[in-house]
Structure 1
Amino acid sequence: MQNNRCIPCPIGYTGSTCKGPCQYPKYGFMCQSKCDCNPQLCHHITGCPPPRLTCKAGRSGKYCEFPCRYPSYGQGCQEKCSCLQHLCNAETGCKYKVNV
């Protein structure tokens, strides 16, 4: 409060002294915006990072935040592992290749 008038906190902050960051999933001006990404990606001032057009091999999700789900692996999670789950790498596939 300044001159008996309330002044808004800086973007991304809240509280009577404006020292507390917005709490997930809120962010931005007066903590009125809401993140649609996971807490590790949500920034209290800027929110979620922009979506990637393509994820690196082995990743999926709007923000590439998830590994491919077994048995899928590779670019776009389009390949299928033909080995047991603990031997399947989300990025590269089966750890041991078997020639058939």
Structure 2
Amino acid sequence: MTTSRTSLAEFVAQGAGCFDVVEYLTARERPAELTFFRFLLILQEELGIPFGETRKLGVYFKPDWTPMADVELIDRFGRQLFRDKRLPDLLPLGDTHD
């Protein structure tokens, strides 16, 4: 779905789910560990999603990013959050990834 040159915003615009974004950022942030706080900061800085919205994702993960809920539920919530906050020029018309 992505290449090393794809920005996070472009990756999300392609319909990436929450697990896709975690995997993407984990690989991109190496050798540093992707902490949940760093994850929130990146989503705010690069996608414009405020902490108040993204922190809701925290209830779905253990500190090592192991899911604590159904993977499809987490991805659906993530896609909705990402879609609602994307810039209009990154959101294709008729986008229905749910």
Which of the five TM-score ranges fits, normalised by the shorter chain?
under 0.3
Relative contact order, higher structure (CA 8 A, sep 6+): 2
Structure-1-length-normalised TM-score: 0.20
Structure-2-length-normalised TM-score: 0.20
Structure richer in strand, relative to its length: 1
* The structure with more radius of gyration: 1
Structure richer in helix, relative to its length: 2
